[in-house]
Structure 1
Amino acid sequence: MWKGRHALPCLVPVLLALLPAVTSLHGEPQYMVLVPSQLHTETPEQSCLHLHHLNETVTVRASLQSSWGNKSLFNDLVVDKDLFHCVSFTIPRFLPSDLVAVLSVHIKGPTHEFKKKKAVLVKNRESIIFVQTDKPMYKPGQSVKFRVVSVDKKLRLLDEL
């Protein structure tokens, strides 16, 4: 029953960014792009594209644009039938603490064309460091054993030195 639930685990705060107004329930092409509303740098992120009721071959281009540059998500992807496709990407670290990027999607076919832009918040990854000793008190001369763990704000382990 819940077999497909793991398909989009990292898209919990999903921004249904690009869904055109549908004039009829059946027959008209429908396009949807799923991107988290808040992205983090140096962390794998995911974007998904869903095309439904295609009656022609279309070309899809999607990218994130900001002062740090452009990040192509789907580059001249040619689709001729219904599609659900996800792509992983990583945004490089930048100096300002918060940045607004623009998600741009362009879907073009012989008779249909769809263009949309939407703002997405990008934040630098922040880490928390825990230092744990093997016991609370030591006597003079005893060896101190400790472990250091680095996690992000969601308490996921980070691979940092």
Structure 2
Amino acid sequence: MDLNISPCWKQLLLFSLLLVCVNGQMAGPSFMVTFPAVIESGSEARLCASLLKPNESLVMNIYLVDDNQSTLLLQEKAEEEFHRCFNFKAPLIEAESVQKMKVELQGQSLKMSEERKVMFRPYHPLTFIQTDKPIYIPGQTVNFRVVTMDKNFSPLDQQ
């Protein structure tokens, strides 16, 4: 299995693991949710959630909040530790938008909540036009091709 993890993500993961180790003596439950700080509009984004040391039946809700509109991304009921990752569809936007991810953890005797910002950027594919020669003589046929590519420079397969 090939894991393509950037150095920044490796440092974040290492910091998270160290934080869990240092706080490993905490009595109550704790949670961690990870997601990219910047997400492309309309793309499939990945979100991971972990629950550690639950001492009762807990419900974890993860919302995407834009102004006063809230969209439930995940609802997980658990009585034991878990770590799950899943994909969600990023909202379609016209201009850059800063929204919030809100995580709520609730049980009979516990209620925890945390919010973090996430930026959504509009999708702008790149279009390249290429000719077969740099200079043409008047009357010559101009041959060209047009290719539209995504941010990874892969050709798009759409009209």
In which range does the TM-score fall when normalised by the shorter chain? 0.7 to 0.9
Q: Distance in 2 between matches of 1:98 and 1:32?
A: 26
- Secondary structure of the 2:113 match is strand
Supply the AA of the counterpart residue of 2:63: S
Q: Distance in 1 between matches of 2:11 and 2:119?
A: 12
Q: Is the 8 A contact 1:94 1:124 kept in 2?
A: yes
Q: Is the 8 A contact 2:93 2:120 kept in 1?
A: no
Structure 2 equivalent of residue 65 of structure 1? 65
Instruction: Report deviation, 1:24.
Output: 4.4
Q: Distance in 1 between matches of 2:93 and 2:78?
A: 34
Structure 2 equivalent of residue 87 of structure 1? 86
Q: Is the 8 A contact 1:38 1:122 kept in 2?
A: yes
Cα separation, partners in 2 of 1:67 and 1:40, compared to 1, 3 Å: farther
Supply the AA of the counterpart residue of 1:91: A
Structure 1 equivalent of residue 40 of structure 2? 40
Bigger fraction of residues in strand:
1
Larger radius of gyration, structure 1 or 2? 2
Instruction: Report deviation, 1:93.
Output: 2.1
Supply the AA of the counterpart residue of 1:117: E
Matches within 5 A, 1:1-161: 5=3, 12=9, 24-26=23-25, 27-67=27-67, 69-75=69-75, 77-95=76-94, 97-134=95-132, 136=134, 140=139, 142=141, 144=143, 146-152=145-151, 154-161=152-159
TM-score, length of structure 1 as denominator length: 0.73
TM-score, length of structure 2 as denominator length: 0.73
Q: Distance in 2 between matches of 1:137 and 1:129?
A: 21
Supply the AA of the counterpart residue of 1:52: L
Alpha-carbon displacement from aligned partner over 1:71-110 (angstroms, at most 9, x marks no partner): 32113x2112111111211223223x21110111101122
Alpha-carbon displacement from aligned partner over 1:1-24 (angstroms, at most 9, x marks no partner): xx5845x78x959989xx8x9794
Q: Is the 8 A contact 2:125 2:148 kept in 1?
A: no
Q: Unaligned stretches of 5+ in structure 1?
A: none
Q: Is the 8 A contact 1:107 1:113 kept in 2?
A: yes
Cα separation, partners in 2 of 1:48 and 1:110, compared to 1, 3 Å: same
Q: How many residues align?
A: 151
Alpha-carbon displacement from aligned partner over 1:5-57 (angstroms, at most 9, x marks no partner): 45x78x959989xx8x9794235322000011112111111111011222322
